[in-house]
Amino acid sequence: MTLQNYTETVKQIKSAILHSRYITAKVANKEMLFLYYGVGKTISEKVAAEKWGSKTIEKLSVDLQNELKGLRGFSPENLKKMKRFFEEWSPYFKDNSLQIPISSSLTNQLQETDNQQNIIGSSLTNQFIENFIKVSFTAHFEIITKVKKLDERVFYITKSAQEFWAVRTLRHHLKNKLFEKQAQLPTNFETTLQSQNKEKALASFRDHYLLDFVRISDEDEEDEKVLENEIVLNIKKFLMSLGNDFTFIGNQYRIIVEDDEYFIDLLFFNRTLQALVAFELKTGKFKPEYLGKMNFYLSSLDEYVKKDHENPSIGIILCKEKKNKTVEFAFRDYNKAMGVATYNTSRKLPDKYKDILPDAKTLKKLME
């Protein structure tokens, strides 16, 4: 056997193992959800019919663990979670069973709440079930405790399943209110992108980004270089903030135009859009002149960097503040696809702590 053949054999076996692990995990998760849903159903019915209380649920947990030594995942708290899981979803499934397709009541609601990304439509109810059983119980509970509206729950379940979100990623997007901020980004995509790419582009960017991994002091608040360095140091977290299919190319990306050097703050490639994406960082309020600079960068990227098979480059100006009307007027007459988003970091204290601790100047005096 040649080395090449052997290497190919290793790759084939590795691929088979990974595929098998994925299928096993998928089936195991599905069976676990069915089990938890069924246990939740039983407990819910007993609470309603026989007035079970917390003490009875605690006793049930102890007895189950006595009957099945080494049993995990059936603490009193988890049994209550199973009960809630059943009660939250049982109105939308026929015969209260996850194994039976979604009822007409949910089908109608899903059709009514269909969003711009066509996540759910009249022909996709079975697809939603497939997504539903791919999501872990922990993720499901995060969603039902933090999201009330059905269409929003469907959105997070679908994204979690299709983009393989870890629970940590899901929590990040829930905290950042991803659902509410879809397709709200002020852009000129309507006039600059081909029709088949408009919705994809709107779905790829958000109006606001939570950069809670960035630590900026009062002194550095206006320093764009500090913000850029913090993002680059935490590039994995920033990619998670951006969403799926972004690849980081580099920061201070150099372009030479007629012997003069220009530097783009952050440059990415998006596989869904098949386009380069330039980010310019601004620590203050949006100014119309920022678009002229970005338009120049995008023209340069399209001329010197973009591959023949790729779509025209897209630019996002990420600033601290913006007024949408100002952005709207500034966009007029530009022919490159651009958007303006805002961000915030974790530097500021939550409102409930503002009156407890001294401000930065007072604290500095106290330390001196």
pLDDT on residue 23: 65
CA distance from start to end of the chain: 75
| Choice between 322 and 122, residue whose per-residue pLDDT is larger | 322
**pLDDT tens column, 16-71:** 666 666 666 667 888 888 888 988 888 898 888 888 888 888 988 888 888 888 88
Residue with tokens 């949006």: 286
pLDDT on residue 277: 97
Is residue 346 pLDDT above 70, yes or no?
no
The mean pLDDT of 287-306, rounded to a whole number, is 96
Cβ atoms within 10 Å, residue 191: 13
pLDDT on residue 115: 41
**pLDDT tens column, 13-24:** 667 666 666 666
245 and 159 Cβ atoms separated by less than 8 Å: no
Is residue 165 pLDDT above 90, yes or no?
no
Helix (H) or strand (E) holding 262: strand 260-270
Residue 288, phi then psi, degrees to nearest 5: -55, -30
Give the amino acid at 333: D
The mean pLDDT of 82-98, rounded to a whole number, is 80
Domains of the chain: 3-178 (no CATH), 189-351 (3.40.1350.10)
Is residue 308 pLDDT above 90, yes or no?
yes
3-state secondary structure 282-337: EEEECCCHHHHHHHHHHHHHHHHCCCCCCEEEEEEEEEEECCHHHHHHHHCCCCCE
Length in residues, the chain: 368
317 and 340 Cβ atoms separated by less than 8 Å: yes
pTM value surpassing 0.85: no
Distance CA 317, CA 253 (A): 15
Is residue 214 pLDDT above 70, yes or no?
yes
| Choice between 120 and 273, residue whose per-residue pLDDT is larger | 273
Which residues, at least 6 apart from 257, have a Cβ–Cβ distance to it below 8 Å? 300, 304
313 and 301 Cβ atoms separated by less than 8 Å: yes
Q: Which long-range contacts (CB under 8 A, 24 or more apart) does 197-201 make?
A: 197/273, 197/311, 199/116, 199/117, 200/272, 200/273, 201/273, 201/314, 201/337
The runs of H, that is alpha helices, within 96-186 are: 104-112, 125-132, 137-146, 150-162, 167-175, 178-181
Distance CA 198, CA 196 (A): 6
Is residue 96 pLDDT above 90, yes or no?
no
pLDDT on residue 215: 79
Distance CA 256, CA 220 (A): 30
Determine what percent of the chain is predicted with pLDDT higher than 70: 76
**pLDDT tens column, 193-212:** 887 788 888 888 888 888 88
pLDDT on residue 110: 45
